Amino acid sequence: MGAIEKSIGNFAMSGDKINPRVDIAFKKIFGTEENKDLLISLINAVVGPEDHVVDVTLLNPYNQKNFKNDKLSILDIKAEGTHGKKFNIEIQITDEGDYDKRALYYWAKLYTDQLKASEDYCSLEKVIGIHILNFTSISKSKKYHNVFHVTERETGLSYFDDLELHTVELKKFTDVVKKDLGEIAIKVKSALDMWSAFLTRHDILSKACELPESLNKPELKKAIQVLSIMNFTEEEREAYEDHLKWLRIESNTLKKAEEKGKVKGLKEGLTKGHQEGLKEGQKAIALKMLKRNRPINEILEDTGLSLEEIQSLEEFSYEWR
């Protein structure tokens, strides 16, 4: 098995099995009216007690018709609690350059979209972003769940209370929770642990004849059942596989350490290994820009690649579309 297949193997279908970490499946589980109880449980597992919800209104419910024309869309879940607070939940499998900026942009858009013509700023409600990541994004923190606010630098005083962003880094969770039902049960201490176990160890949980006490929860049982009987229409399956194709491309090119800050510098005195890493980083950025239909001249300037190299990448990316 090649490097690409190994890196993406955990996300592929096995027979009719579907991975809940692929955003289409994730939204079909948590972003539908019939499964709102699962979404409520997930939200309450992440946010503090002051932001817990007893009911939510889905602002962009799952709709399979969207896939026909937009197979590579970002399938986030937007919801509003009965208290008026807004939630944006997104799952992200592969690392992306400037993901932190995109998370903040999504938060800002949901916040500003609240204000209609002639309405006052006092009508703005708190917006909470929940970003479930299948990679390590915050290397300075050992925790897999981190919460961010705007605070005063010296005193830590929180003043802008309407901004709250959560990151849930699943890789950090799986680093300490191995593929054994008994160990999973021991490690699960909270509702967020339970949902993280579902997203990363669903294959093991689904095979258990009886779940251990820490996992024997109605909402988890329902999620496992929903996943086990989930069927995709032809359009949904095509969209799911298109997402997997992009994951194969990115898993072969994205090497974050070489991508950030090294494209336009450090070209002299590099070892052969560093030079190869730099080239992979340049290609990764070029693929991202091609995916977003950026002009060739802009890609040339930002990556330092030759026109021939970019054209080769363009042909490669179209093969997977």
Percent of the chain with pLDDT over 70: 78
- Is the Cα torsion angle 231, 197, 215, 193 positive or negative in sign? negative
Answer for the pair 208, 41: CB distance below 8 angstroms, yes or no.
no
**Ordered alpha helix ranges (H), the chain:** 3-8, 23-30, 36-46, 99-112, 170-176, 181-187, 191-207, 218-229, 234-253, 256-259, 272-291, 296-303, 307-319
Answer for the pair 134, 94: CB distance below 8 angstroms, yes or no.
yes
Answer for the pair 87, 78: CB distance below 8 angstroms, yes or no.
yes
- Give the pLDDT confidence of 156-184 residue by residue, as tens digits: 999 999 999 999 999 999 998 888 899 99
| Dihedral, 190, 196, 198, 201 alpha carbons, nearest 10 | -120
Answer for the pair 38, 220: CB distance below 8 angstroms, yes or no.
no
- Give the pLDDT confidence of 119-168 residue by residue, as tens digits: 889 989 999 999 999 888 898 999 999 999 999 999 999 999 999 999 99
